[in-house]
Amino acid sequence: MTGPILDFPDQVPYDAYVHASTLHSLQQPLSRDPGEMSFLMVSQVMELYFGLARHELRDTQRLLREDDVWGAIAPLRRTKLHLEGLVAAWNGLRWMTPSDFNRFRGQLGEASGFQSAMYRHLEFLLGLKSEALIRPFKRQADLYDELSTALAAPSVWDDVTAMLARRGFEIPAEVLTAHPAGEYATHPAVEKAWVEIYHDDRGDNPLYALGEALTDVAEEFGEWRYKHLTAVQRTMGNKAGSGGSSGAAWLTRSMAKVVFPELWSARTVI
Ligand code: HEM
């Protein structure tokens, strides 16, 4: 039996690839409260998942633009699984009572997950656009430029709709030429296209499979939002947020914006 390699001329190759030392040097809690570390690290883990989901959704867009629908389903399926990991990460905070949170909450100042640029980018890709929400990044040119570009670029849903038009579904020009930076306006023609697609529910219908893969992503993203709201209600009730909003009430309103809306409304008709 051969054992693993134990001698390396330089850095351990695992560290060179994973950058584990760098990752583990990034935790800088602000208080001496032992519970703060899980708050900080769960936030960092979630940031990484936001980034991974963004990576997959960008790949989905690339494949949709190439009219490779089966190809686009693969990164969507991965996205769903990553979002499951993201949602499971909430478990690391379920121990936290209001008094546990209060022990370090003051140290956060005005910092809030609301200011996560990666989360905002993910929302834009999912079609939840809001020009106002990139304002916090105005003084960080790199983030601001990236988010402004993402705001003005088509969302995954825009790319799906454009692909359906190329495949002969009757999508009016006004839908295809709508300025993507604005808040998405639902259209009955898009809903009708999905009703038609769902009428052919054979497993080898790529558009039907795409619809279900997109639904999984929307549902899992909704799970994250719901668990976030529950964590907020559990640890701070209806107090105002550190980011300056009314807290749970603001989040409830933000959650009302639906991801891939016609894919849901079509189900009433099918
Ligand atoms: C118990 C822990 C948490 C509490 C009490 C909490 C509280 C809040 C509150 C009150 C808001 C609304 C904005 C504000 O005024 O601050 C918010 C937004 C947000 N938080 Fe948290 N949060 C928690 C954990 C997390 C974690 C671990 C993450 C992961 C990075 C996160 C990410 C976000 C994001 C992305 C938003 C913006 C949501 C949107 O735009 O709809 N939060 N949070």
- Distance, in Å, from the CA atom of 270 to the CA atom of 267, rounded to the nearest integer, reads 5
- Distance, in Å, from the CA atom of 56 to the CA atom of 175, rounded to the nearest integer, reads 25
Atom of ligand 1 nearest to the CA of 112: 16
CA quadruple 9, 10, 14, 16: dihedral sign: negative
Atom of ligand 1 nearest to the CA of 232: 5
The whole-model pTM stands at 0.97
Count CA atoms closer than 13 A to 108's CA, side-chain side.
Answer: 21
pLDDT band (50, 70, 90) for residue 107: very high
List residues near ligand 1 (CB under 6 A): 42-43, 46-47, 93, 96, 112-114, 116, 119, 228, 231-232, 235-236, 241-245, 247, 250-251, 254
Which tens digits make up the pLDDT trace of 1-14? 999 999 999 999 99
Q: Mean of the pLDDT values across residues 18-38?
A: 97
- Distance, in Å, from the CA atom of 61 to the CA atom of 154, rounded to the nearest integer, reads 9
Q: Which of 27, 37, 178 is nearest to 96 (CA)?
A: 37
How many whole angstroms from 41 Cα to the centroid of ligand 1? 14
- Distance, in Å, from the CA atom of 265 to the CA atom of 242, rounded to the nearest integer, reads 35
pLDDT band (50, 70, 90) for residue 21: very high
How many whole angstroms from 234 Cα to the centroid of ligand 1? 13
CA angle 39, 30, 23 (to 5 degrees): 60
Instruction: Tell me if 157 sits within 8 A of 260, measured CB to CB.
Output: yes
- Distance, in Å, from the CA atom of 45 to the CA atom of 177, rounded to the nearest integer, reads 37
**pLDDT value of residue 162:** 98
Helix (H, G, I), strand (E, B) or coil at 57: helix
Atom of ligand 1 nearest to the CA of 250: 12
Q: Mean of the pLDDT values across residues 168-178?
A: 96
How many whole angstroms from 114 Cα to the centroid of ligand 1? 6
* Class of residue 42 by CB neighbours under 10 A (exposed 0-12, middle 13-18, buried 19+): middle
Atom of ligand 1 nearest to the CA of 93: 1
Which tens digits make up the pLDDT trace of 123-142? 999 999 999 999 999 999 99
- Distance, in Å, from the CA atom of 232 to the CA atom of 239, rounded to the nearest integer, reads 9
Give the closest residue (by CA) to ligand 1 atom 16: 243
- Distance, in Å, from the CA atom of 154 to the CA atom of 178, rounded to the nearest integer, reads 10
| HEC profile of 103-126 | HHHHHHCCCCHHHCHHHHHHHHHC
How many whole angstroms from 112 Cα to the centroid of ligand 1? 6
Which tens digits make up the pLDDT trace of 236-262? 999 999 999 999 999 999 999 999 999
Atom of ligand 1 nearest to the CA of 251: 41
**pLDDT value of residue 149:** 98
